[in-house]
Structure 1
Amino acid sequence: MQAYQQIIIGVDLSPESTQVIERARQLGQLCSAKLHLVHVLEPLTFAYGGDIPMDLTEIQTQLQAQAEQQLHKLASQYGIAQSDCHLKVGQPAAELHHIAGELNADLIVVGSHGRQGLALLLGSTANGVLHGANRDVLAVRVEESD
């Protein structure tokens, strides 16, 4: 088995993201792998189903700028180059699969909140990434911040 060379770290920019980054960083050090930090921002039209009769472009642009700033701040805290930060817009699992393919990544690392039952089946990004992946996926169990 060959060591991981390219690791995608999917983060939601919550305080728990640091736990996911730390676990991926430790693994990356063991394998001498390159780390890529990825955040996927869902379009507001996804969140509201397009039912609101208004132009959300300016709000979406502001959200993207804030997310990019947070992503770069996280990256600098963990020594990840800004060129290895990727902000995508779309459905998180699909976008993580897409960028993993673009970068020829051999591992995707995401956080898992340990939800059970319907919450796991219906809405877990980690579950979506796992079930559509053609590469290894590591779901890091995160502890909720108080």
Structure 2
Amino acid sequence: MFKRILLPVDGSDISTRATEKAIELARLCGARLFALYVILPELAEPYVSGQSRPFSVQDGTDRAEHCLSAVQAETDRAGVPCDCLAMHGGEPWDVIVQVAREKSCDLIVMGAHGRRGLTRLLLGSETQSVLLHSNIPVLICR
């Protein structure tokens, strides 16, 4: 069925649930996972993460390493092959769609935060944008 699954992660609870589902699906299908953490520009990260202190590129890199090492530990435990990628980019949805194409993925598994109101207006919905721009199936976990 699926052979190459892209798993965008951000360290949130919903991302952790998506990770669990992606690992389970990859194990059942005999698929390879590609875990992706998109490091946001300095000005966007505090709004997304809820931090009130200044944010540096190193903070984003550290968060990516921490998040991806947790995914790698889970995939190792499950016996699922996984490549971890940390990418700097503008729009996370665009990076997700590009990486899915470059890695020849046949499925994207990602969480949906369910942001509403002003937060959604300011930050947009990465999940919605991936759905609109992806030419492969997207499994949304809530």
TM over 0.5: yes
Do the aligned residues in 1 keep the contact of 2:31 with 2:81 (CA within 8 Å)? no
Q: Distance in 1 between matches of 2:96 and 2:111?
A: 13
Do the aligned residues in 2 keep the contact of 1:20 with 1:140 (CA within 8 Å)? yes
2:41 is matched with: 43
Which stretch of the first structure deviates more once superposed, 117-126 or 7-16? 117-126
Which stretch of the first structure deviates more once superposed, 70-79 or 91-100? 70-79
Q: CA RMSD in A?
A: 2.6
1:1-146 matched pairs, under 5 angstroms? 3-45=1-43, 59-79=56-76, 84-90=83-89, 91-115=91-115, 123-141=124-142
Q: Which amino acid aligns with 2:113?
A: H
Instruction: State the identity as a percent.
Output: 34
Do the aligned residues in 1 keep the contact of 2:6 with 2:100 (CA within 8 Å)? yes
* DSSP 3-state at the match of 1:36: strand
Do the aligned residues in 2 keep the contact of 1:110 with 1:126 (CA within 8 Å)? yes
Decide whether aligned partners of structure 1 residues 15 and 104 sit closer, same or farther in structure 2, where only a CA change above 3 A counts. Answer: same
User: How many residues align structurally?
Assistant: 130
* DSSP 3-state at the match of 1:44: coil
* DSSP 3-state at the match of 2:5: strand
Tell which structure's C-alpha radius of gyration is larger.
1
Structure 1-normalised TM-score? 0.75
Cα displacement string for residues 21-46 of structure 1 (whole angstroms, at most 9, x for unaligned residues): 11111211221111111111111155
Could you list the runs of 4 or more consecutive aligned residues of structure 1 that deviate by over 2 angstroms after TM superposition? Answer: 45-48, 113-122
Do the aligned residues in 2 keep the contact of 1:97 with 1:132 (CA within 8 Å)? yes
Structure 2: gaps (5+ residues) = 47-53
Do the aligned residues in 2 keep the contact of 1:120 with 1:127 (CA within 8 Å)? no
